[in-house]
Amino acid sequence: MTVRNLWESVAALGEGFATTFRHLFRRPITEEYPEFKRTLPARSRARIVLTRDPDGGERCVACYLCSAACPVSCISMQSAEAADGRRYATWFRINFARCIYCGLCEEACPTSAIQLTPFFETCEREILSLVYEKEDLLVDHGGKDPDYNFYRHCGIVTAAGGKGTHAGEAPPVNLTSNLP
Ligand code: SF4
Ligand code: SF4
């Protein structure tokens, strides 16, 4: 070892000890969770919910897009169609033991149904209790998008309206109207 290398090693050691020494006289910063809960950033992502339209209907149309987008395959469901033409999930399941809270399901959802909330206190001793069913996921509000109603914009025929009756939608074009 050269004299220069030796001097650099001693200097680095001294710097380390100096840092330790400075911290000996600092007030400890200990946050006593759960008594103290830090305010999370506004866009924190945790516990997932399934939201509803302003009229109370289930937003999820069981299109499987969230399930396809999920990188860990923790969403599953079964689709069905109601008598009024609305699609829905007969069952909808999320395995929170696998979820990595990436938010891709929310990005993929065309109806604003699936949303991540900042609530993160979902620890359980029994791992199977982290499998949430539709009843556990459905909430009675619209979440971040309270006024959005998919069926008022989608152009899909339901008991609530036919083609051309939705918000901002023109009536269907009569394809034979310009024939000679
Ligand atoms: S947050 Fe990510 S990992 Fe969790 S369910 Fe949605 S897509 Fe899957
Ligand atoms: S939550 Fe959204 S993306 Fe997932 S199935 Fe329902 S409508 Fe489709």
- The pLDDT score that the predictor gives to residue 1 is 66
Secondary-structure class of domain 48-152 per CATH? alpha beta
At 138, is the secondary structure helix, strand, or coil?
strand
Cα 28 to averaged position of ligand 1 atoms, centre (Å): 37
Residue given tokens 């969770």 in the structure block:
33
Give the Cα-Cα-Cα angle 141, 45, 31 (nearest 5 degrees). Answer: 115
**Encoded tokens for 165:** 């009756």
- The pLDDT score that the predictor gives to residue 18 is 95
- The pLDDT score that the predictor gives to residue 85 is 85
Atom of ligand 2 nearest to the CA of 69: 3
Structure-derived torsion over alpha carbons of residues 63, 66, 71, 73, reported in degrees to the nearest 10 = -60
Chain segment 30-51, per-residue pLDDT in tens: 889 999 998 999 889 999 999 9
Cα 115 to averaged position of ligand 1 atoms, centre (Å): 10
Residues lining ligand 2, CB < 6 A?
Answer: 60-66, 77, 108-109, 111, 113-114
Atom of ligand 1 nearest to the CA of 104: 7
